[in-house]
Amino acid sequence: MDWTAPRPGPALLFCPGDRPDRFGKAVEAADAAVLDLEDGVGESRKAEALSAVTAFLAHTRERVIVRINPPLSERGRADLAAVLAAGASTLLLPKTESVAELDAVLAAAPADRPVSVIPSVESVKGALALESCLDRPGILGLGWGPYDLAADLGLLAVREESGAFLSPIRHLRDRMLCVAAAAGVAVYDSVTTEYRDATLLERDLHEAVALGMVGKFAVHPRQAGAIRSAFRPDPAEVERCRRMLAADLDGGAFAFEGEMVDGPILRRARQVVAAAERAASARKP
C-alpha cells in the first residue's frame, strides 16, 4: 500500500461536525479543514455530525481531515467505518495512548486506498507511549493538546503570565518533539483557543516555528492567514541558504558570507529550502 500522502498545512482549521453549513467555508479558509466528530460535538449530536461529515465526503475530499472519536471506543469504531466508506483519506486520532489505536485504523483501511493518520498526544500516558506508536506506516504528522495535558496533570492553569505554557506541559511537549524527530515524523502545533488574542497567537506561532513544527491547528478562520505567514520561510533566508548549498563543494567546513559553515548548518539550510519548496507548492490563500 502506498503511504506517501502529501503533508497538509500549514493551517489546519477545526470545524464542528454538526455544522455542515461551515464545511465548505473551512476548506476555503485554510489549507485543510478538520471536520470534528469528537470534542467539538456534543454527545446528543454525534450521530447527526457523522451523517453530515459522510455526506460532505461524498463530493469533497481534497483538503479534508476527519477527527474521529478514539478508535477503540464504540463511537470511534462507528466513525472509522463510516468515514472510510465515504472516502476519507486522512484521519486525526485524538487522545492517542497506544499502538493498538493505530493498528485498529490500519486494519480498517481499504486495501486499495492509502489512509494517513495524525495521532494526537493529549495525556501523560500518551506522551510516555509515543515511542511505540510512531513506527507504524501512514503517520502523516503528530499533534498535541496542551489544554488536555493540563487537565490530565491536574494543573490549575495552562500558561504562565508571559503566555508560555507551564513547565510540566513544556516538558511533555519537548519530549514529544524529540521522539518525533527520532522517528522522522513532523509535528503540528496545537490550537490557540484564545482566538481573539492576536499577540498570544503570534507568540505561539513564533515558538512553534522556532521548534521546527510544520504547521498549526486553528479554531477560527481569522487565524489561518497568520499561520500561513508564520510558516512561510523568509525569502532572503531561503536565497542565502540556496547560495550556501551551491557553495558547498566537498562537504567540509568553509567560510560563507561571514559564517563558518559545516555539516549541521548545511543540513539546516537544506531544511529551509525544502520548507520553501513545500510552501511554494501549497495552495495560496
Are both 166 and 275 inside the same structural domain?
no
pTM for this entry = 0.89
Give the residue ranges of DSSP H helices in the chain.
Answer: 23-29, 46-57, 74-85, 99-108, 124-128, 130-133, 146-153, 167-183, 198-210, 224-231, 235-247, 263-281
pLDDT in tens, 43-53: 999 999 999 99
Asked if residue 94 lies in contact with residue 120, where contact means CB atoms within 8 angstroms, the answer is yes
Please check whether residues 106 and 144 belong to one and the same domain: yes
Q: How many domains does the chain have?
A: 2
Residues 112 and 245 in one domain: no
Q: Same domain for 96 and 212?
A: yes
The 8 Å CB, 24+ separation contacts for 146-149 are 146/173, 146/190, 147/190, 147/193, 148/95, 148/122, 148/123, 149/121, 149/122, 149/123, 149/124
- pLDDT of res. 2: 39
Q: Which domain holds residue 88?
A: 11-231
Residues 143 and 248 in one domain: no
pLDDT of residue 249: 76
Q: Considering the domain boundaries, does residue 95 fall inside one?
A: yes
Is the same domain home to 137 and 244?
no
pLDDT score, position 1: 34
Per-residue model confidence (pLDDT) at position 284: 46
The Cα–Cα gap between 88 and 174 comes to 31
Ramachandran area for residue 87 (φ above 0: left; ψ -120 to 50: alpha; else beta)? left
Tens digits of residue pLDDT in 179-229: 999 999 999 999 999 999 999 999 999 999 999 999 999 999 999 999 999
Looking at the fold, whether 56 and 133 belong to one and the same domain comes out as yes
pLDDT at 233: 83
Chain centre distance of CA 234:
21
Stretch 84-107: mean pLDDT: 95
What rounded mean pLDDT belongs to the chain?
A: 92
User: Do 217 and 153 belong to one domain?
Assistant: yes
Query: Is the predicted pLDDT of residue 172 greater than 80, yes or no?
Result: yes
pLDDT the model gives residue 4: 47
Question: Is there a single domain that holds both residue 249 and residue 219?
Answer: no
In-domain check, residue 149: yes
Q: Higher-confidence residue: 250 or 271?
A: 271
**Mean pLDDT confidence for 29-55:** 97
Which of 123-132, 245-254, 271-280 tops mean pLDDT?
Answer: 123-132
Instruction: For residue range 63-94, list pLDDT tens digits in order.
Output: 999 999 999 999 999 999 999 999 999 999 99
150 and 50 in a common domain:
yes
Do 110 and 150 have their domain in common? yes
